[in-house]
């Protein structure tokens, strides 16, 4: 459960950080001081509008989860076994019993006083002393019963107030989460409407999510701090034979730590079989390869995740996605991002070698594509085009025409993050 919560928190942060933009307009209105009127009035692109919808959806999903958590907390609070309720009921019972004891003591005092007053004039001194003692004893019992009743009543009042305060606080929290959910839904609807309106305008880019373009991500489950590990991001053409061929494919990827402040220790490089030199993922353009992928075929990008030696042991996730661009202008994105979870582990303490034994002091080595070994549990499988129809171009990487830059790429990756968030929180609720 802890890991699920940490994961949900980390991905939610990654997805909802740009919420400030959403609060201004459904798209990305820039109203910073000094921004030119031309920049402020610049029409958002379809990629920017899609990204706005993805972010707004993630904010709304998080708001739904938060409201559900608040409602669940209130349901738990209302159960008879709630400690505050148990304490309140016990205090009420003790107060009622003390109040009843006071009534009884007051009645005994009244009886003793009436008996003393009814003594005849000829009563003996012994009778008078006995009557007085009875009154004194009854008075003492009545005073003690009164003090006890007041103490128990005060204790009940305090327990009742604590219970009521907790109930009010939960009610206020529900009110806040419901408002946040309503506001998030309003922002999501506005973002969707702006995107829909833009898509209806003539001359706009028609790129959209394509269910036949599928991105999958696989790799090791552990990476040792101070080493690198290789993950495989596969772009697959799910079209049937005779269907659409993807002329050029590309993507975007990033690695996130699930421990606050650890993202800076994760770095992602990419390569392919036809461009084996490792290159950092470009935050603006992502990565691409001039490689056609026929129906039923696939193309692989290799992602090298390097973990700095300073990184702490923690859970992490590498997320990616992609799209295609054809010469005739057809283009699309994977309708779901891909992600792979892994654990950052600290290196084992060195052991003293046995006498006469050679030791490998080379540490981990990272060569080109397909020649990488690490301590942390990495893949050494070479990346090739899928055996079912992918082909490689002679040129290396990078066509600036491929519309898989930051806006589209981040949308896909954040979509994957939102998917992780929702599935993890759902799993946590069902556990």
Same domain, 218 and 114: no
End-of-domain residue from the set 143, 175, 205: 205
Same domain, 142 and 88: yes
- 370: number of CA atoms within 13 Å, CB side? 10
Residue 355 is assigned to a structural domain of this protein: no
Per-residue pLDDT of the chain (431 residues; tens, 9 = 90+): 232 232 233 333 333 333 332 333 333 334 444 444 444 456 788 888 999 999 999 999 999 999 999 999 999 999 988 999 999 999 999 999 999 999 999 999 999 999 999 999 898 999 999 999 999 999 999 999 999 999 999 999 999 999 999 999 999 999 999 999 999 999 999 999 999 988 776 444 457 788 899 999 999 999 999 999 999 999 999 999 889 999 989 888 899 888 878 889 999 999 999 889 999 988 777 888 777 899 999 999 999 999 999 999 999 999 988 888 888 778 888 877 788 999 999 998 877 666 655 544 444 444 444 433 333 344 433 333 333 333 333 334 444 445 444 344 444 554 555 445 444 544 554 55
Contact 367, 378 (CB under 8 A): no
φ, ψ at 339 (rounded to 5°):
-150, 155
Residue 343 is assigned to a structural domain of this protein: yes
Same domain, 323 and 310: yes
End-of-domain residue from the set 205, 240, 272: 205
Distance (Å, rounded) from C-alpha 199 to C-alpha 48? 12
Sheet holding 213-218, edge to edge: 213-218, 228-237, 298-307, 266-272, 275-280
Structure tokens that stand for 236 in this block: 């697959």
Residue 360 is assigned to a structural domain of this protein: no
Q: What pTM, to 2 d.p., does this model score?
A: 0.45
Distance (Å, rounded) from C-alpha 52 to C-alpha 27? 6
CATH number at residue 386: 2.60.40.10
406 exposure class (CB count in 10 Å sphere: 0-12, 13-18, 19+): middle
Structure tokens that stand for 247 in this block: 């002329």
Helix or strand or coil: residue 367?
coil
Distances (CA, A) of 161 to 88, 155, 165, 167, 202: 9, 10, 6, 10, 64
Nearest partner of 297 among 212, 387, 209, judged by Cα? 387
Contact 377, 221 (CB under 8 A): yes
Same domain, 335 and 282: yes
Residue 95 is assigned to a structural domain of this protein: yes
Residue 84 is assigned to a structural domain of this protein: yes
Same domain, 145 and 34: yes
Count the domains in the chain. 2
φ, ψ at 213 (rounded to 5°):
-105, 115
- Residue keyed to tokens 């650890």: 262
φ, ψ at 305 (rounded to 5°):
-95, 115
Distance (Å, rounded) from C-alpha 53 to C-alpha 191? 5
Domain that holds residue 214: 209-348+366-430
Distance (Å, rounded) from C-alpha 391 to C-alpha 293? 6
Same domain, 97 and 145: yes
Same domain, 243 and 186: no
Same domain, 178 and 231: no
Contact 163, 84 (CB under 8 A): yes
End-of-domain residue from the set 186, 205, 224: 205
Q: What letter would DSSP give residue 200?
A: H
Same domain, 282 and 421: yes
Same domain, 75 and 182: yes
Long-range CB contacts (within 8 A, 24+) of 182-185: 183/63, 184/56, 184/59, 184/60, 184/62, 184/63, 185/60, 185/63
Same domain, 215 and 330: yes
Distance (Å, rounded) from C-alpha 126 to C-alpha 405? 109
Residue 359 is assigned to a structural domain of this protein: no
Same domain, 85 and 62: yes
């Amino acid at each position: 459960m802890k890991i699920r919560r940490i994961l949900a928190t980390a991905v939610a942060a990654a997805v909802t950080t740009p919420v400030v933009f959403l609060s201004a307009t459904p798209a990305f209105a820039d109203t910073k001081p000094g921004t030119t009127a031309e920049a402020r009035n610049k029409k958002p692109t379809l990629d920017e509008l899609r990204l706005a919808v993805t972010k707004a959806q993630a904010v709304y999903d998080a708001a739904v989860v938060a409201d559900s958590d608040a409602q669940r907390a209130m349901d738990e609070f209302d159960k008879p076994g709630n400690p505050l309720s148990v304490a309140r009921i016990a205090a009420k019972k003790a107060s009622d019993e003390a109040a009843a004891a006071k009534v009884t003591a007051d009645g005994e005092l009244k009886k003793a006083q009436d008996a003393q007053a009814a003594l005849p004039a000829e009563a003996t001194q012994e009778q008078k002393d006995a009557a007085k003692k009875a009154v004194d004893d009854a008075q003492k019992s009545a005073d003690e019963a009164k003090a006890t009743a007041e103490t128990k009543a005060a204790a009940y009042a305090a327990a009742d107030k604590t219970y009521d305060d907790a109930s009010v606080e939960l009610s206020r929290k529900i009110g806040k989460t419901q408002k946040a959910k309503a506001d998030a839904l309003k922002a999501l609807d506005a973002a969707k409407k702006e995107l829909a309106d833009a898509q209806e305008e003539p001359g706009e880019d028609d790129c959209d999510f394509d269910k036949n373009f599928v991105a999958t991500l696989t790799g090791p489950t552990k990476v040792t701090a101070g080493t690198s590990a290789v993950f495989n991001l596969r772009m697959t053409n799910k079209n049937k034979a005779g269907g659409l061929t993807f002329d050029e494919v590309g993507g975007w990827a990033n690695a996130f730590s699930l421990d606050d402040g650890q993202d800076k220790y994760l770095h992602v490089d990419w390569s392919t079989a036809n461009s084996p030199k490792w290159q950092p993922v470009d935050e603006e353009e992502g990565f691409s390869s001039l490689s056609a992928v026929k129906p039923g075929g696939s193309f692989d990008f290799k992602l090298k995740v390097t973990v700095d030696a300073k990184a702490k042991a923690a859970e992490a996730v590498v997320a990616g996605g992609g799209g295609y661009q054809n010469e005739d202008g057809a283009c699309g994105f994977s309708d779901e991002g891909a992600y792979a979870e892994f654990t950052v582990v600290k290196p084992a303490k060195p052991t003293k070698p046995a006498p006469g034994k050679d030791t490998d002091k080379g540490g981990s080595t990272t060569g080109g594509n397909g020649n990488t070994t690490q301590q942390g549990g990495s893949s050494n499988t070479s990346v090739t085009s899928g055996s079912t129809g992918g082909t490689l171009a002679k040129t290396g990487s990078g066509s600036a025409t491929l519309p898989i830059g930051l806006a589209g790429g981040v949308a896909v990756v954040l979509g994957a993050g939102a998917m992780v968030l929702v599935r993890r929180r759902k799993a946590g609720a069902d556990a």
